[in-house]
Amino acid sequence: MDRRTFFKRTSSGLAGLAVWPSISLLAGCETHSSASQILVGVTSRTRVLDPRQATDALSSRLNRLIYRQLIDFNESFEPIPDLATWEMVSPTQYRFTLKVRPRFHHGKQLSSEDVVATFDSILDPKQGSPLRGSLKHITSAVALNDTQFDFHLAHPDTLFVGRLVIGILPKDLIEQDHSFLSSPIGCGACRFLSMDEQRLVLQRPDKTTLEFIPVKDATVRVLKLRKGELDLIQNDLSPELLNYCHHRDDLVVSSHFGTSFAYIGFNFEDPLLSKLEMRQALAHGINRPLIIDTLFAGEARLAGGLLVPEHWCGVPDLKGFDYDPDKARALLSELRKQTDLIKPYLNEAGEIQLSYKTSSDPTRIRLATIYQAELKKIGIALDIQSYDWGTFYSDIKKGRFQLYSLAWVGIKSPDIFQYVFDSDAIPPRGANRGRYRDAEADTLIREAGEAQSLAEEAKLYRQLQRHLQDTLAAMPLWYENQYAVMRKGVEGYQLYSDGRFDGLLKVKKMV
């Protein structure tokens, strides 16, 4: 989807969005990269090229190019075979069969022994893999022959197969304590060539090199793109910069529906925010469609819950709360009758004073100022507090907030609900940062986790998502699109909803 109409619309309700503060620097261009290399700008240097240790989005996307995994996901986020097919022998035993046996980049052919060794190393507490927690119910992995292997589980888990999206490593190098962090060796499409502070270099089967160059500043990334020092960048631009790129004849912008779920979180231990009417007033008081249309120029879609509508247990008709300032005012008017509750929150102007924490990212601060202006209309004074990422995130985990906003990126498995909304998942045991406690939600989470079929599980998770909306466990905002900006002449790049880099395997550059 090529949106050359990006940002044509503005709104007096969202005034003050300065559009070109630093883009005047982006002048002049010079092409000097060859067709045998694709130069990709990324936000930071990648340090985790061992799939047993990778948890951040960038590392996971790069590891997909170097390694192969047992399974992948289709467009509905259902598991499908990659290296192997599977059958459920019993609720606690799964048998996998390798359908292909590619060679690792050091020459050894993949076998079931490599799969077993990879998962044994993840489950070894001495290795400290952050992925161990989601797989710790594996009691054993057993190779039956070169192509078949079994997983035995401590208890039934209908989502088990979907947890196996981890790159497979060669057994011989695992036993030698090879450093996959500094010299990754997998059996994926790309071979690792080199890595230093300036770039990571991978090589495709056609000998084209993919060079990932860290450029922290977004404006500099666009400048390098125009000068030919980069060929492609994906995501992580401000709306103004993306708008600028849309209007350049030497650049091409494409986009695709994304799964990143943006939301506003509430502190349920705050006396006022624990009231459903207060949360509903906030939800009705923010004009999400106008923000999507104006700030994001349509490059997002309304969200109703963590899972996108097309997910196998998503809820297509769940859209969150409509913008209705009159209803918001009516809800607040009723709350104001509870004098003892409201009085501590009133400022000198008689407005309800609330604090909102966000990171120091300019786009996030701009969004905060929009929320502030919108809520002012219904009698809420929003005090914006912005911090560097480390301080902000620490405060959120510790519950030091009234309101905040974050996004969940790359969600595929519905067991995320236990991690985010279960009463037992308050940090550090999980990511229930709002301290949401709800007996019905807990029951549905547990019943879904114990379901004996995916159909029953999907039914329960859909019921849970409706309940989370009814109780406003968090305020859904939108799913932001994935987008890529390329130099003209870069062709064939495909975007995916989860932001993976697989499109780099086929992209071509005409010089």
Residue 384: CA count within 13 A, CB half-sphere: 19
Q: Is the pLDDT of residue 298 over 90?
A: no
The CA dihedral of 337, 342, 343, 345, to the nearest 10 degrees, is: -150
Question: What pLDDT is stored for residue 6 in this prediction?
Answer: 36
Question: What pLDDT is stored for residue 245 in this prediction?
Answer: 93
Residue 52 is assigned to a structural domain of this protein? no
Q: Among residues of the chain, what percentage have pLDDT more than 90? A: 83
Mean pLDDT throughout 68-86? 96
Q: Is the pLDDT of residue 13 over 90?
A: no
Regarding whether 241 and 219 lie in a shared domain, the answer is: yes
Q: Looking at this protein, which amino acid is placed at residue 109? A: Q
Backbone φ, ψ for residue 278 (5° rounding): -70, -45
Question: Can you read off the two tokens belonging to residue 425?
Answer: 């998942």
Regarding whether 279 and 207 lie in a shared domain, the answer is: no
Question: What pLDDT is stored for residue 418 in this prediction?
Answer: 94
Q: Could you report the per-residue pLDDT of 107-134, keeping only the tens digit for each?
A: 999 999 999 999 999 999 998 999 998 8
Question: What pLDDT is stored for residue 505 in this prediction?
Answer: 97
Question: Can you read off the two tokens belonging to residue 174?
Answer: 């695992």
In which band, very low, low, confident or very high, does the pLDDT at 370 lie, cut at 50, 70 and 90?
Answer: very high
Residue 137 is assigned to a structural domain of this protein? yes
**Which of 268-282, 315-329, 406-420 comes out lowest in average pLDDT?**
406-420
Question: What pLDDT is stored for residue 33 in this prediction?
Answer: 58
Question: Can you read off the two tokens belonging to residue 429?
Answer: 């045991």
Mean pLDDT throughout 145-159? 96
Mean pLDDT throughout 442-466? 94
Mean pLDDT throughout 381-406? 95
Cis check for the bond before 156: say yes or no (omega within 30 of 0). no
Regarding whether 165 and 36 lie in a shared domain, the answer is: no
Distance of CA 261 to the CA centre of its chain: 7
In 3-state terms the chain splits into helix, strand, coil percentages (rounded to 5) of: 30, 25, 45
Place of tokens 């859209």: 319
- CATH number, domain at 264? 3.10.105.10
Regarding whether 469 and 345 lie in a shared domain, the answer is: yes
Question: What pLDDT is stored for residue 35 in this prediction?
Answer: 64
Residue-number span of the structural domain to which 114 is assigned: 68-175
Burial of 255 (0-12, 13-18, 19+ CB in 10 A): buried
Regarding whether 313 and 447 lie in a shared domain, the answer is: yes
- CATH number, domain at 119? 3.90.76.10
Q: Could you report the per-residue pLDDT of 15-60, keeping only the tens digit for each?
A: 333 333 444 445 444 445 566 999 999 999 887 999 999 888 899 9
Can you tell me the distance from the alpha carbon of 160 to that of 131, in angstroms, rounded to the nearest whole number?
13
Q: Could you report the per-residue pLDDT of 401-426, keeping only the tens digit for each?
A: 999 999 998 888 998 999 999 999 99
Regarding whether 331 and 475 lie in a shared domain, the answer is: yes
Can you tell me the distance from the alpha carbon of 259 to that of 306, in angstroms, rounded to the nearest whole number?
9
Residue 57: CA count within 13 A, CB half-sphere: 18
The DSSP H or E segment spanning 41 is strand 37-42
Regarding whether 209 and 79 lie in a shared domain, the answer is: no
Regarding whether 39 and 98 lie in a shared domain, the answer is: no
Residue 235 is assigned to a structural domain of this protein? yes
Q: Could you report the per-residue pLDDT of 171-206, keeping only the tens digit for each?
A: 999 999 999 999 999 999 999 999 999 999 999 999
Regarding whether 503 and 472 lie in a shared domain, the answer is: no
Backbone φ, ψ for residue 137 (5° rounding): -80, 0
Q: Is the pLDDT of residue 442 over 80?
A: yes
Interacting residues of 336 by C-beta distance below 8 A, sequence separation 6+: 342
Mean pLDDT throughout 211-240? 95
Residue 454: CA count within 13 A, CB half-sphere: 14
Residue 186 is assigned to a structural domain of this protein? no
Mean pLDDT throughout 214-234? 96
Residue 25 is assigned to a structural domain of this protein? no
Q: Where are the alpha helices (DSSP H) in 453-503?
A: 454-470
- Which is it for the CA torsion 490, 491, 492, 498, positive or negative? positive
- CATH number, domain at 229? 3.40.190.10
Question: What pLDDT is stored for residue 34 in this prediction?
Answer: 65
Can you tell me the distance from the alpha carbon of 231 to that of 509, in angstroms, rounded to the nearest whole number?
8
Task: Please count the structural domains in the chain.
Answer: 3
Residue 361 is assigned to a structural domain of this protein? yes
Residue 13 is assigned to a structural domain of this protein? no
Question: What pLDDT is stored for residue 46 in this prediction?
Answer: 83
Q: Could you report the per-residue pLDDT of 203-219, keeping only the tens digit for each?
A: 999 999 999 999 999 99
Regarding whether 440 and 422 lie in a shared domain, the answer is: yes
Can you tell me the distance from the alpha carbon of 397 to that of 393, in angstroms, rounded to the nearest whole number?
6
Regarding whether 230 and 205 lie in a shared domain, the answer is: yes
Mean pLDDT of the chain: 91
In which band, very low, low, confident or very high, does the pLDDT at 273 lie, cut at 50, 70 and 90?
Answer: very high
Residue 207 is assigned to a structural domain of this protein? yes
The reported pTM is 0.84
The secondary structure of residue 321, as a DSSP letter, is: P
